[in-house]
Structure 1
Amino acid sequence: MTDGRLRSTISAWRPSVPGITEVFHAHFTDHAYPAHTHDTWALMILDDGSVDFALDRHRHGATGTGMVGLLPPGVSHDGRTVTESGFRKRVLYLDMTVLPEQLTGSAVDRPILDDALLRQRIHQLDTSLGHAGDAFEAESRLSLIRERLRFHLDAPRTRTPGQEAPGLAAALRELLDSRIPTGISLHEAAGILHAHPTHLIRCFKRTYGLPPHAYLTGKRIERARRLLLDGRRPAQVAAAVGFHDQAHLNRHFTRHVGTTPARYAATRGRAAAS
């Protein structure tokens, strides 16, 4: 959506990931937000430019791509551009299941976080939210972001994996193996295994060297390769192994194997002829 008069470009959508009520991307050059409040947390990263805003009557400035902004619910704030080129931002609006309202005071005291790792995780989450079918990955990334935000807000932390890690990781792997075509949400897995979602991710990665969503994607690719060599069409394979659609299969298959499913399947005929 574009507004030629304001020279602004925005896009917004509601993802299917619990805890995220809206994703909002914008390039503003001369827009100024009036004072307002949100019912949600606003988690923001900048891709370019600078922004100036007041939160609870105190002014703050954010510049560059290394910062993270966190505006709490129910607290008045505004926002405006600083330079003629304006700013580009990506915002995730998070509900109270991600961060409780009790952490508002800490966020008011420190709405700008200089944390490159947190910024990178938000970028990765935002990217995964732009691809249909990557909800399990997005849930996992959101869980790690939640933990890091709570660290900045001085909230109690998730414990470090201990002796229980291998057993918990094995139980999750078995659960994922049983749900390859249908998939499973992180919160459902955590409920079945009676573990905190972030703790579950850390135990799995510590034991197997990769996060659960990457493991599940790898298993789907492995199964897809077998079906393609059996002569199944890529669209059929995508549905059979749990990808959202053929485009979803193509993206992950190319990243894993280095070629598209169709080209991979075509080698079957050449090999048989030779």
Structure 2
Amino acid sequence: MSGSAQVRAWQPGLDGVVEVLHAYFPSHAYPSHTHDAWTILLVDEGVVRYDLDHREHGLTRAQVSLLPPNVPHDGRSVRPEGFRKRVLYLEPDRLGADLIGAAVDQPELLDPVLRRRIEQLHGVLADGREPLEAESRLTLIEQRLRQHLRRQVVRPAAHRDAGVAGRLREVLDAHLPGGITLDEASKLVHADPAYLVRAFSREYGIPPHRYLTGRRVDLARRQLLAGRPAAEVATLAGFYDQSHLTRHFRRMLGVTPSRFARS
């Protein structure tokens, strides 16, 4: 593997799947961020290392990685030649919030049958002409993922002020894309601003502002794939202008919004 980053992303029109991403990154390292979706990740070339909820993990070609929604993670190549990956982003209710803890405990799954089914679904979605087959394959994949997650022993939650952090996250989500000041949020949550930042950072591993930026980038991805121009998307996603969007988008995804849209 060599050369520049390669990205192909699209919305497949399959209920439950919000985005498909095929990418090669020779050097990009993802900063810590969250998604509002379940992330099913295959590595086709190279080895990826990432931190999820403050714990380090590794992913090779033999494994499937399942990253739960709203849990911070990053990502980087172990090898100098970079990595190639395929990703499915599923709507958050497809697997259920009750299984998030199990996914945090064991995000890597060594299951050749599951990996083969995911590869087959990618092929069907890339072709785009067999909707019933795509639905059938997604159903089997979700069933097998639930079986894995329900076998996991969910660890007790650490002692954190999850209630305050959770309410702040709801406030941030409700004020997308425009955003909200910390003082305004503190009045809605009924907590001191400094305490809000500490509680949120302890619970989710990233500060509130970085969570909000990640959600805006996710929103921008969907708008770009829907065919809207980057300048319009910047406003729709809550960024000041296109350059502001480009700076955060490139930092998060390793490519510019325009290049992502052309994929």
TM, length-normalised to structure 2: 0.55
Percent identity (aligned):
51
Shift of residue 21, structure 1, vs aligned partner: 0.2
Shift of residue 85, structure 1, vs aligned partner: 1.1
Shift of residue 153, structure 1, vs aligned partner: 0.4
Deviations 1:39-86 (A, max 9, x none): 0000011111100000000000112x2210000001000000111111
Q: Which has the larger radius of gyration?
A: 1
Q: Can you give the 5+ residue segments of structure 1 that lack an aligned partner in the other structure?
A: 156-274
| Contact kept? 2:41, 2:65, Cα under 8 Å | yes
Q: Find out whether 1:17 has 2:10 as its counterpart.
A: no
Aligned length: 149
Aligned to 1:95: 91
Q: Find out whether 1:82 has 2:84 as its counterpart.
A: no
Where in structure 1 do 4 or more consecutive aligned residues deviate above 6 Å?
Answer: none
Deviations 1:122-144 (A, max 9, x none): 00001000112211100000000
Q: Find out whether 1:30 has 2:6 as its counterpart.
A: no
Aligned to 2:257: none
User: Which of 125, 144, 151 does residue 148 from structure 1 map onto?
Assistant: 144
Separation in 2, partners of 1:75, 1:24: 19
Q: Can you give the 5+ residue segments of structure 2 that lack an aligned partner in the other structure?
A: 152-263
| Contact kept? 2:27, 2:77, Cα under 8 Å | yes
* Secondary structure in structure 1 of the residue aligned to 2:70: coil
Q: Find out whether 1:60 has 2:42 as its counterpart.
A: no
Separation in 2, partners of 1:11, 1:100: 28
* Secondary structure in structure 1 of the residue aligned to 2:94: coil
**1:106-255 matched pairs, under 5 angstroms:** 106-154=102-150
Shift of residue 10, structure 1, vs aligned partner: 0.7
Shift of residue 97, structure 1, vs aligned partner: 3.7
User: Which of 40, 53, 62 does residue 37 from structure 2 map onto?
Assistant: 40
Q: Find out whether 1:105 has 2:101 as its counterpart.
A: yes
Q: Which amino acid aligns with 1:110?
A: Q
| Contact kept? 2:69, 2:92, Cα under 8 Å | no
Separation in 2, partners of 1:14, 1:101: 23
Q: CA RMSD in A?
A: 1.1
| Contact kept? 2:36, 2:92, Cα under 8 Å | no
Separation in 2, partners of 1:97, 1:59: 26
